[in-house]
């Protein structure tokens, strides 16, 4: 299934993409697409309903973040071999983990705001893992049972905040609008192999990132198992799995986003996003 949330910020309705690529209103079945909805029982309830009998929703409405009330937004750094090469860093022996503020989460086509003082605004297309049940000290062999689905994540980054202002990476990762997710959550049963998906991003029509999830250092099962050794993962938590090469920082010379730039990104089977860079208020 492809699950989404549609409507103005704070007023999103739960929806589903039907077999004709139309959006159906799930409000009569579930209250929202969130951690509670992503339990196996709730997903089974959605799958069992008569989809064609549900009301249609206009596809001209705004798409909200595909998961509501996200508890944790966990990110993995340097998780593509070729991205490590372009940044001049060694392939990590263990996953590099940092957190992104949940207040950064926006809809897939909402604008990306260039923060005050920003001069190195960068892009990173990533595949997101959405947790479906509580995970604590999970074995890698069992980790797939804890994944509700996958989505596109744009890990927008401000490199000067991240790398030149002291401390952890978080300052360059958690600004408002730095976490578009969606357009929809694709349930795990719809993906034959999450480690064989094309992943790409372009700016103003120029392709910068063009790779495959098969180039990940640590796959979804490893990441869920690994993270669960350090923190419990809750339904609705998102793990952003790292970006392939082609980020602005890795260009010669570096290329950074400017107000008015148009960003398009996507992953095979998980949909596409489109954003415009906006000035800070």
Predicted confidence at residue 225, as pLDDT, reads 98
Query: Could you tell me the pLDDT band of residue 90, with boundaries at 50, 70 and 90?
Result: confident
pLDDT digits (tens, 9 = 90+) for 8-60: 999 999 999 999 999 999 999 999 999 999 999 999 999 999 999 999 999 89
Q: Give, for 163, the enclosing helix (H) or strand (E).
A: helix 159-163
Predicted confidence at residue 86, as pLDDT, reads 78
Predicted confidence at residue 87, as pLDDT, reads 75
pLDDT digits (tens, 9 = 90+) for 203-242: 999 999 999 999 999 999 999 999 999 999 999 999 999 9
172: buried, middle or exposed (CB in 10 Å: 19+, 13-18, 0-12)?
Answer: buried
* Token output for 169: 């990476």
Q: Has residue 167 got a pLDDT over 80?
A: no
Cα 149 from Cα 90, distance rounded (Å):
30
Mean pLDDT, the chain, integer: 95
Average pLDDT over residues 102-108: 98
Return the domain boundaries, the chain.
Answer: 2-57, 73-278
Predicted confidence at residue 109, as pLDDT, reads 98
Predicted confidence at residue 123, as pLDDT, reads 98
Q: Report whether 157 contacts 167 (CB < 8 A).
A: no
Q: Which CATH superfamily is domain 73-278 in?
A: Fumarylacetoacetase-like, C-terminal domain (3.90.850.10)
Q: Report whether 14 contacts 32 (CB < 8 A).
A: yes
Q: Report whether 218 contacts 87 (CB < 8 A).
A: no
Predicted confidence at residue 154, as pLDDT, reads 98
Q: Residue 10 in 3-state DSSP?
A: coil
Predicted confidence at residue 50, as pLDDT, reads 93
The dihedral sign for the CA sequence 68, 237, 241, 145 = negative
Chain center to CA of 14: 18
Q: Report whether 12 contacts 64 (CB < 8 A).
A: yes
Query: Could you tell me the pLDDT band of residue 88, with boundaries at 50, 70 and 90?
Result: confident
Predicted confidence at residue 3, as pLDDT, reads 98
């Amino acid at each position: 299934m492809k699950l989404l949330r549609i409507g103005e910020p704070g007023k999103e309705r739960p929806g589903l993409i039907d077999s004709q690529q139309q959006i159906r209103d799930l409000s009569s079945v579930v209250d929202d697409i969130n951690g509670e909805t992503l339990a196996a029982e709730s997903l089974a309830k959605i799958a069992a309903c008569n989809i064609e009998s549900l009301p249609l929703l206009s596809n001209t409405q705004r798409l909200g973040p595909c998961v509501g009330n996200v508890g944790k937004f966990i990110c993995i750094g340097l998780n593509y071999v070729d991205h490590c090469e372009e940044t001049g860093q060694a392939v990590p022996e263990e996953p590099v983990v940092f957190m992104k503020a949940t207040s950064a989460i926006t809809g897939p086509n909402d604008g990306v705001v260039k923060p005050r003082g920003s001069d190195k605004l960068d892009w990173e297309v990533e595949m997101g893992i959405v947790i479906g049940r509580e995970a604590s000290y999970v074995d890698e062999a069992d980790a797939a049972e804890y994944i509700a689905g996958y989505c596109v994540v744009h890990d927008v980054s401000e490199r000067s905040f991240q790398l030149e202002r002291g401390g952890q990476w978080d300052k360059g990762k958690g600004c408002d609008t730095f976490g578009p997710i969606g357009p929809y959550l694709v349930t795990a049963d719809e993906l034959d192999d999450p480690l064989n998906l094309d992943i790409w991003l372009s700016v103003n029509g120029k392709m910068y990132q063009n790779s495959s999830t098969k180039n990940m250092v640590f796959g979804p099962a490893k990441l869920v198992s690994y993270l669960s050794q350090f923190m419990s993962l809750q339904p609705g938590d998102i793990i952003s799995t790292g970006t392939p090469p082609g980020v602005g920082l890795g260009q010669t010379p570096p290329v950074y986003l400017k107000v008015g730039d148009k960003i398009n990104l996507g992953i095979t089977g998980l949909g596409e996003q489109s954003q415009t860079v906006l000035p800070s208020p």
